[in-house]
Amino acid sequence: MGISNESDLKYGDIQDGYLSTAIQCPSPNANLRPQGQSVSLLVIHNISLPPGQFGTGCVQAFFTNQLDTSLAPYFHTIAELQVSAHLFIERDGAVTQFVPFGARAWHAGASSFDGIANCNDYSIGIELEGCDDIAYTDAQYDALARVTRQILAAYPLITPERIVGHNQIAPERKTDPGAAFNWNRFHQLLGDN
C-alpha cells in the first residue's frame, strides 16, 4: 500500500502536528482531545462560501470567526457558528492548516463511526473547497492524496478503511463530500487499491 513515498517529501512532512508546507491560519475553534485519545479516523468534507462560490477567502474567515456578514445574506445564518477543520484544500491545491492534528478541530458535529460517537475526539477533518455536485479539481485530488499519505504515515491507526466522508458519520445531517467526489480516483492516487 502506498502510504508514503519519496516524492511526497518535497510536499513537506508532519512535525508536532503541523504540515510543514501548509499555510498556517490558526483557528480558535479547537480544543484538546480527550486524555489518551488516539487519532484513528480521517473525515473528508466540502465547503464553499458563499455556497457554490470559490476563491473568496470566506472559508478562512469563517474558520477564524472573522466572517463579514455583509458580504452575503447567507452569512447571517452561519455567523454564530464556531467551526473549524484541520486542513482546507482550495481548488488550486493550496493547503491551509487551521488546527494542529493533535488537537480537536470542530468539524464533525454530532457523529458516529463504527459505533463510537463524537468523531471530533478521534478524527482529522479535511475540507475540500467544493460542492456535492461540482467536480473537484485535479490539483485537489493530488493535494488530498499527498497530505493523506503524510497523515497515514504519522497516524498509523488511520487506515484506508478509516477514511470516510462526512455523510458516512452523520448521514441524517450531511451529504458531503457528495456525489462529485470520486472515491475510486482518490484511493487509486493513495495506491491502496
Q: What would the pLDDT profile of 5-15 be if each residue is shown by its tens digit?
A: 444 444 568 99
Residue 52 counted as domain residue: yes
pLDDT in tens, 85-117: 999 999 999 999 999 999 999 999 999 999 999
Beta-bridge partners for 24: 97
> How many independent structural domains does the chain possess?
1
**Within-domain flag for 28:** yes
Residues 6 or more apart whose Cβ sits within 8 Å of residue 55: 90, 91, 129
CATH number at residue 33: 3.40.80.10
Choosing from 127, 129, 161, 172, the catalytic residue is 127
Instruction: Check if 129 is active-site.
Output: no
Domain extent, residue 137, equals 6-190
Residues 6 or more apart in contact with residue 86 via CB below 8 angstroms: 97, 98, 99, 100, 101, 105, 107, 124, 125, 126
Buried/exposed 174-192: b ≥16 CB within 10 Å, e otherwise = bebbbeebeeeebeebbeb
pLDDT of res. 180: 98
The reply to whether 178 falls in a domain is yes
Q: What angle do CA 10, 16, 21 make, to 5 degrees?
A: 30
Residue pair 107/101 in contact by the 8 Å Cβ criterion:
no
Query: What stretches in the chain show pLDDT beneath 50?
Result: 1-10
User: In this structure, is residue 1 part of a structural domain?
Assistant: no
Cell of 68: 463579514
In a domain, 93, yes or no: yes
